[in-house]
């Protein structure tokens, strides 16, 4: 069923940190892939005021059953006090792609 799959979004301070996070998640077989997108501009509330910064977005495809461990690995590799780690359900996908996710991650 497609609802057991997730697209996880994590922002990072720069490409070096994004690569470190992506590598840690992939080496632990907690995601099938990590797309790293450079050049994102973010505006957000932080400690009572609006901040603006450049960030890198990582989009990882995984399974719901791995989300807690994935989140833990991201937090250990991340420099932010409160890193963004959010997940959206994959409501549908090609059977071949979803099978590839199954084969690429390691249930723990």
pLDDT attached to residue 19: 98
Q: In sequence order, what are the residues at sequence separation of 6 or more whose Cβ sits closer than 8 angstroms to the Cβ of residue 82?
A: none
What secondary structure does DSSP assign to 17-65, as a single string? HHHHHHHHHHHTT--SEEEEEEEEEEEEEETTEEEEEEEEEEEEEEEGG
CATH class of 2-104: alpha beta
User: Band of the pLDDT at 83, cuts 50, 70, 90?
Assistant: very high
Residue spans of the domains in the chain: they are 2-104
pLDDT attached to residue 107: 75
pLDDT in tens, 10-44: 999 999 999 999 999 999 999 999 999 999 999 99
User: Band of the pLDDT at 62, cuts 50, 70, 90?
Assistant: very high
pLDDT attached to residue 108: 58
Rg (CA), the chain: 14
String of b and e for 38-52 (b: at least 16 CB within 10 Å)? eeeeeeeeeeeeeee
pTM score:
0.94
**What is the C-alpha separation between 88 and 5, in angstroms, rounded?**
9
């Amino acid at each position: 069923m497609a609802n057991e799959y997730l697209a996880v979004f994590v922002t990072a301070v720069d490409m070096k940190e994004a690569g470190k996070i992506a590598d840690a998640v992939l080496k632990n077989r907690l995601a099938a892939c990590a797309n790293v997108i450079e050049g994102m501009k973010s505006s957000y509330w932080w400690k009572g005021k609006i901040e603006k910064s450049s960030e890198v977005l990582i989009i990882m495809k995984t399974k719901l059953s791995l989300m807690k461990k994935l989140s833990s690995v991201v937090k250990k590799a991340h420099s932010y006090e409160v890193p963004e780690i959010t997940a959206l359900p994959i409501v549908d996908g090609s059977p071949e792609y979803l099978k590839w996710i199954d084969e690429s991650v390691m249930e723990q």
